[in-house]
Amino acid sequence: MKKLSMTLMALILIVLSLAPAGRLQAAGSQIVNPSVTYTYGVLTQDIRALAAKYPDIIEYKSIGKTLYGREIWAVGLGSGSATVFFNGSHHAREWLTTTINMQMIEQYAAAYTENRKFEGYDVRDILSKTKIWFVPMVNPDGVTLQQTGLQSFPTHVHQALITMNDGSRNFKRWKANAQGVDPNRQYDANWKELINNYYYPHWMGHKGKAPMTAKENKAMVAFTYEIDPEIAVSYHSAGRILYWNFRTPAVNYARDKRLADLFTAFTGYSQVSPSYNSNGGGGYTDWFIQKLGRPAFTPEIGIKNGETNLPVSAFNEEWRRNKKIGLWIAQEGYALWAAKNKSTVKPVSVFLDGKKIEGKLAAFNEDGVTYVSYKPLLTAFGYKPTWQGSSKTVTATGTSGTLRFTLGKTDAEINGKKVTLTAAPRLYEDVIYVPVRLINQATGAALTIYPDTGAVSIKSPVPVTPKPIVPSEPVPTQPVQPQVSGEVQPTP
């Protein structure tokens, strides 16, 4: 009996020892770990890992470097024509907002790849229409200083940093960049009117000698104009409050207030009075609202607990409140974009060898260019297409040769020869379309586009039957005349 009890105890211990390992393995399948201090190094590593894991839907790039050489990373999620923009960690100690940004990226990418809904949102549909851009850590120098102190900076600047920190070697309260400039008081939005300003570099509150002098701010403004977002969300901490209005003109007030009310309904964050916020300025969303005339929001996550960062234990509750915000904003951004860019897409029919191609939109005409869904046609002609997500390139190989083209580029390749397309291959409702003449050029199929309806008729190339080789009549040869030594024989 005692032996049996010991055996059972051993089995229990084995099960208990295996259970945590199983949980760790499940947790390990997720790249972003919200339970750690989210450093610049972790951020860089996670961005690269996510792009490698989800190449079809994630891209990343640097939009600039800080004074101390750290890349300011931007991550793109989705393939749509409309764009929205999220960012975090303008202020050094507010790095939990970076974790919020990164969690959105991974959770949405996973739902897209698995073709499942997230919090009721159709992720595939949303990300095929809208691209969400993130700059998860606007101020990596400041975050690094706040988290690790002087050790991550050159020795010759230590004393200057200590002076900016009022003589303290403890940088846990630090908000500014590593030059002592507050990045969220640097934007050119009523900058001159900012009050409560330190007139010298400081751990907080110094707006700089002029607007837009900090590298971080220059990068953010240039990138904003590059991606042209419909809505911007700049995460800060703390207070569970929402800024949404900065001297918003009356014509935009109802539009922005509706979105603010929904934001509050989702998160529970209280709205800051427009009259209070109108006295501020210099912030990213202030600049966005004023210069672009579009909606922008500054949600402040968590409850402040002294002059320092929020603890990682605050993440779960703030994620619960914000996890659907990215997809909702993307959906709202697309609606704003679509209202300004009414679709000029005109569906047209496609016939292959007289038979109509059925199913999802096979072809459409836009701005005079006829696009076709490449896969049904190339497959019918015996090609096997493959997709390379990292370069967004399709390579199709068949008996007629090899075709290669890339989304967004007018340069293509047919059997090793470069060709220039009339328009770039593009995504439309999550399907890749190419100019129809590319199919014609690659396969040799006959192409007819009917001007009255725009319908496309494609006829397979007629196989060429080689003619039999008929032997020609033999040509008689002249007998070789023997040569007599010393004599030249006449030519017959």
DSSP string, 6-38: HHHHHHHHHHHHHHHHHHHHHHHT-S--TTS--
* Shared-domain flag, residues 213 and 283: yes
* Shared-domain flag, residues 306 and 390: no
Residue 433 domain flag: yes
Residue 449 domain flag: yes
* Shared-domain flag, residues 362 and 268: no
| Alpha-carbon gap, residue 299 to 267, rounded angstroms | 9
Please report, in tens digits, the pLDDT of each residue of the chain (492 residues total): 445 455 544 444 443 444 333 333 334 489 999 999 999 999 999 999 999 999 999 999 999 999 999 999 999 999 999 999 999 999 999 999 999 999 999 999 999 999 999 999 999 999 999 999 999 999 999 999 999 999 999 999 999 999 999 999 999 999 999 999 999 999 999 999 998 889 999 999 999 999 999 999 999 999 999 999 999 999 999 999 999 999 999 999 999 999 999 999 999 999 998 876 655 799 999 999 999 999 999 999 999 989 999 999 999 999 999 999 999 999 999 999 999 987 677 898 999 998 998 877 888 888 888 999 999 889 888 899 998 877 889 999 988 789 999 988 999 999 999 999 989 998 887 789 999 999 988 888 899 999 888 899 999 887 655 555 555 555 455 544 444 433 333 333
Quote the tokens at residue 218: 């220059």
pLDDT of residue 468: 59
Residue 483 domain flag: no
Phi, psi (deg, nearest 5) at residue 432: -85, 130
Contacts of 415 (CB under 8 A, 6+ apart): 401, 402, 403
* Shared-domain flag, residues 279 and 390: no
Number of domains in the chain: 2
* Shared-domain flag, residues 231 and 378: no
Among 323, 339, 355, identify where a domain stops: 339
Residue 18 domain flag: no
pLDDT of residue 489: 39
Q: What separation, in Å, do the N-terminal and C-terminal C-alpha atoms of the chain show?
A: 122
Instruction: Evaluate whether 98 touches 143 at the Cβ level (below 8 Å).
Output: yes
* Shared-domain flag, residues 143 and 60: yes
- In the chain, helix, strand, coil percent, each to 5? 35, 20, 40
Among 304, 339, 374, identify where a domain stops: 339
pLDDT of residue 463: 65
* Shared-domain flag, residues 238 and 351: no
Contacts of 443 (CB under 8 A, 6+ apart): 377, 378, 381, 400, 460, 461
Say which CATH number the domain at 123 has: 3.40.630.10
pLDDT of residue 395: 94
Among 296, 321, 339, identify where a domain stops: 339
| Alpha-carbon gap, residue 484 to 492, rounded angstroms | 16
The rounded Cα 420 to chain-centroid distance in angstroms is: 27
pLDDT of residue 470: 58
* Shared-domain flag, residues 275 and 141: yes
pLDDT of residue 467: 57
Residue 22 domain flag: no
Pairing assessment for the beta strands 296-301 and 232-234 based on DSSP bridges: parallel
| Alpha-carbon gap, residue 241 to 298, rounded angstroms | 8
Residue 465 domain flag: no
* Shared-domain flag, residues 352 and 236: no
Residue 199 domain flag: yes
| Alpha-carbon gap, residue 425 to 274, rounded angstroms | 45
| Alpha-carbon gap, residue 490 to 487, rounded angstroms | 9
Say which CATH number the domain at 425 has: 3.30.457.10
DSSP secondary structure of 191-226: GGG--S--SS--SS----SSTT-SHHHHHHHHHHHH
Decide: residue 266, CB within 10 A, 0-12 exposed, 13-18 middle, 19+ buried.
middle
pLDDT of residue 4: 47
* Shared-domain flag, residues 440 and 401: yes
* Shared-domain flag, residues 178 and 122: yes
3-class secondary-structure state, position 71: strand
Element (H, E) at 386: strand 384-388
pLDDT of residue 359: 77
* Shared-domain flag, residues 335 and 353: no
- b (16+ CB within 10 A) / e for 272-282: bebeebeebbb
Quote the tokens at residue 78: 């989705």
User: 403 lies in which domain range?
Assistant: 346-459
Residue 14 domain flag: no
